[in-house]
Amino acid sequence: MCGIVGILGTEPVAEDLIDALKRLEYRGYDSAGVSTVENGVLGRCRAKGKLKNLQKALNEAPLQGHAGIGHTRWATHGAPNVTNAHPHMTDRVAVVHNGIIENFKPLRERLEKEGAKFETDTDTEVIVHLISLELKKGSAPEQAVQAVLTQLEGAFALAIIFAGHDDLMIGARRGSPLAIGYGEKEMYLGSDAIALAPFTDRVAYLEDGDWVRLSRTSATIIDERGQEVERTINRSTASAMLVDKGNHRHFMAKEIHQQPEVIGHTLGHYVDLATNRVQIPDFDIDFKTLPRLTISACGTAYYAGLVAKYWFEKYARLPVEIDVASEMRYREAPMEPGGLALFISQSGETADTLAVLRYCRAQKQHVAAIVNVTESTIARESDATLPTLAGPEIGVASTKAFTCQLTVLACLAIKAGVERGHISIEQEMELVSQLVEVPRHISTILNDEHLFEKMAHGLAHKRDVLYLGRGSSFPIALEGALKLKEISYIHAEGYAAGELKHGPIALIDEDVPVVVVAPKDNLFEKTVSNMEEVAARGGQIILMTDDKEAAASFTTSSSFVVPRAHEFTNPLVFAVPIQLLAYHTAVFMGTDVDQPRNLAKSVTVE
C-alpha cells in the first residue's frame, strides 16, 4: 500500500525523503510526492509513475526545507495522476495519507457548502480542508488535528506539516501502521522501519488510535482516550534490510535464489539439528487440548495455510478451518473457546487479517502469528509470534516468504502431531530430517533454471493457462496460477485435478496449456488419469514431477523433473519450479516483474 515518510531534520530533507521512499517501493505505488516547510512556507513536488520521475521534477524545482513529508501512492479514490498524488495541501497545511476515509463523501459535501474548493478526486483532500478550516478558526495545529481525527471514519495513517511551523510534525494512526524514528536532534515518521533504517535504529510504533506531536528533540504521544502515553522504543533490525539486487536482474530473481539459505535459517530457528527434533521457542500453546485450529490469511499466505491444513489434519489429526481473511472477518464464524487461531502474513500489517485476529481474540481463541516482520502490528497483538526469517522481500509477488511460511507451518504441524500423540519420536526425527533436505533439493532445481526459459517462451503467447494438483499439491497449483497472473498478466486458474471433469475440462483445447503438479505419491496415478484426459483433447501439458520415467514416457509439451523428496516436503520443493516458470514468462514478456501493475506488497486497507 501507500508509503509514508516524514523528517524533521537539520539540513534540506527532500533528497532524504526520496531515498526513504525508495525503500518503500516494494509496497507498490503509481505516483509519488514530497512537501517541505521552507522559511515558513509550504512547497510541494509531485510526479506520476516511478520515483525517478519525482527525482527529475525535484532537480528542476528543488525544495530546500528542513522539515518535510513524502509519499508513494497506490490509487484508491481517483486516477493515478499528478493531481491526485500526495501530498495534498493548502497554504496552511500539507498531508500524506495511507488508508481510506470511508465517510469522505458527506465530509466533502459539507466542506463544499462551506466554500472549500477541491482540486482532486481523492478521499485524502477532505483531511486537508478540515484541518485548514480549524486553523482558520484560530485553533493551534494540535487542536486542529484532534478535532479532525474525531470526524474521520475508516483506516488511516497520517503525517502532517504546517506553514509557519518548521519544528512541528503530527502523525496519527488508526488501522494503518505508523512508526516514529528517534534520531540525534532529528525525528522521523515512516510506514515501517525499513524507510527509517538509514537514519536511526530507535523506533517506536503507534498503537491504534494514537497520534503524536514531533519536534526535533521530542515525541509526545496521545492515545485514543486523549491521555499522554509512552510507547516502547525498540532497537529495530531494519538496518539489515537495506538491500539491492546483487547480480540478479530483479529482486524476485534474487529472492527465488535466496530460498535455500533462508529456509535453512528458518529451520535453524525451529529445529534442533543435533537431534532432529522440533523446538519452537516462546510457544506455550498446548496442542493436545486444542479442539480446533483456525487459519486465516490473504493471497499467497492463504495458500500456505491451505497446505498446512493437509499437514495438521494428516499428521496431528487436528481439525482445521481455513478461510481468506476478507471473508472470515464478516461472517461472524462461531468459535469454541480455547481453540487456536493462526494468522499468516508477510508484512504483519494486512488489514483484513488483523481484523480477523481481533475477532478471534474476542471469541476467546489463543492467537498465534507467522510473520516476516516481528515488529508488525499482527506480531505485537498475538500471544505467540513465529518469525519466518526470510529477510526483506522486495518483489511484490511473494517467493521466499511463501516457502519460509511453509517451513514454519511444517515444524508447527510436527510439534502438534507429537503433542497429540499421532507422531512418534522416530517419525518426528524422520520428518525433520526430510525438512533439512529441502534447501539441497531447491539448490538442485535452481541449477537447472535455464530449462524454464524455453517453457516460458511457449507460455508467453497464451491467453489462458490452467494449473492442476491433488492433495497438498492442489494449493501449489493455486499458487502457481497466482504467480503467473500476478507478474505476466496472463489469465491463469488453479484447480484440484479431480475437479477437472466438473467444469474446467470444457476449456481444454490446443491453445490452453495445462501445468500439472504431480509428485510420485499415493495420488500420482489419479493425477496421471487427469493428464490423459487433457491430452485426449489436445491440451498442451507442462508436467512438474519427481518421476523421471513418467516425464520421459508421457507426451507433454515440456516437463521438469524435481529431486525426489518425501511427500511431506513436496509442497516446499514444488513451489520453486512454479515460481521460476512464472518469473521467466514475465521476463520474456517484458513486464515489470518486481512491481506489477495494480498490486501492492502490503495491503493495509480493505
**3-state per-residue secondary structure call for 13-58:** CHHHHHHHHHCCHHHCCCEEEEEEEECCEEEEEEEECCHHHHHHHH
Which pLDDT value is given to residue 576?
96
pLDDT at 135: 96
Here the cell at position 88 is 495534498
**CA angle, residues 415, 421, 423, in degrees to nearest 5:** 60
**Residue 348 pLDDT grade (very low, low, confident, very high; cuts 50, 70, 90):** confident
pLDDT of res. 395: 83
Q: What mean pLDDT is predicted for residues 173-197?
A: 87
Q: Which among 55-64, 68-77, 543-552 has the top mean pLDDT?
A: 55-64
Specify the pLDDT at position 244.
57
What per-residue confidence (pLDDT) applies to 222? 95
Is 2 labeled as catalytic in the residue annotation?
A: yes
% of the chain beyond a pLDDT of 90: 54
CB neighbour list of residue 109: distance below 8 Å, 6 or more residues apart: none
Please compute the mean of the pLDDT values over residues 316-341 and round it to a whole number.
Answer: 91
List strand residue ranges (DSSP E) for 49-190, in order: 67-73, 88-89, 93-101, 154-162, 165-174, 179-182, 187-190
pLDDT at 560 over 90: no
Phi, psi for 284 (deg, rounded to 5): -105, 10
pLDDT band at 239 (very low <50, low <70, confident <90, very high): low
- Cα dihedral 22/25/31/37 (nearest 10): -40
Cα gap 243→246, rounded to integer Å: 8
Q: Residues of the chain with pLDDT > 70: what percent?
A: 94
For residue 241, pLDDT over 50 is answered with: no
* Domain residue limits, the chain: 3-241, 245-445, 448-606
Strands, DSSP E only, in 135-244?
154-162, 165-174, 179-182, 187-190, 202-205, 211-214, 219-222, 228-229, 234-235
> Quick one: pLDDT at residue 416?
96
SS3 122: coil
Report pLDDT for 240.
44
Could you check whether 245-445 and 448-606 share the same CATH topology? yes
Which is more confident, 169 or 79? 169
Residue 565 has phi, psi (to 5 degrees) of -130, 180
pLDDT of residue 373: 82
Task: Determine the Cα–Cα distance for residues 582 and 380; give it in Å rounded to an integer.
Answer: 34
Q: Whole-angstrom Cα distance, residue 390 to residue 263?
A: 7
pLDDT at 303: 96
Q: What is the model's pLDDT at position 349?
A: 85
The angle subtended at Cα 1 by Cα 117 and Cα 495, nearest 5°, is 130
d(CA 595, CA 31): 13
Residue 272 above 90 pLDDT?
no
**Nearest CA to 337 among 305, 384, 294, 381?**
294
Cell 523446538, residue located? 279
Highest mean pLDDT among 245-254, 274-283, 534-543: 274-283
Of the two residues 168 and 282, the one the predictor is more confident about is 168
From the centroid of its chain, how far is CA 573? 22
**How far, in Å, CA of 477 to CA of 482, rounded?**
9
CA distance 10 to 8: 7
In degrees rounded to 5, what are phi and psi of residue 557? -75, -30
Q: Assign 246 a pLDDT band (cuts: 50, 70, 90).
A: low
User: 245-445 adopts what CATH topology?
Assistant: Rossmann fold (3.40.50)
Residues 6+ apart with CB under 8 A from 208: 173, 174, 175, 224
By residue count, the chain amounts to: 606
State how far the Cα of 431 lies from the Cα of 437, in Å rounded to an integer. 10
Give, as one character, the DSSP assignment of residue 293: E
Summary mean pLDDT of the chain:
88
CATH superfamily of 448-606: Glucose-6-phosphate isomerase like protein; domain 1 (3.40.50.10490)
pLDDT of residue 460: 86
**What phi-psi label fits residue 348: left (phi over 0), alpha (psi between -120 and 50 degrees) or beta?**
left
Integer angstrom CA distances of residue 137 from 103, 130, 140: 23, 11, 9
Average pLDDT over residues 378-390: 91
Taking only the tens place, the pLDDT of each residue in 423-476 is 999 999 999 999 988 988 998 899 899 899 888 888 888 888 899 999 999 999
pLDDT of 604 reads: 45
- Is the CATH number 3.40.50.1820 carried by domain 3-241? no
- The CA R_g of the chain, rounded to the nearest whole Å, is 25
User: Among residues 22, 400, 483, 601, which one is catalytic?
Assistant: 601
Catalytic residue among 2, 45, 404, 411: 2
- Pairwise CA distance, residues 457 & 461, whole Å: 7
Comparison of pLDDT for 272 and 304, the residue scoring more: 304
Range list of β-strands (E), 191-311:
202-205, 211-214, 219-222, 228-229, 234-235, 271-272, 277-278, 293-297
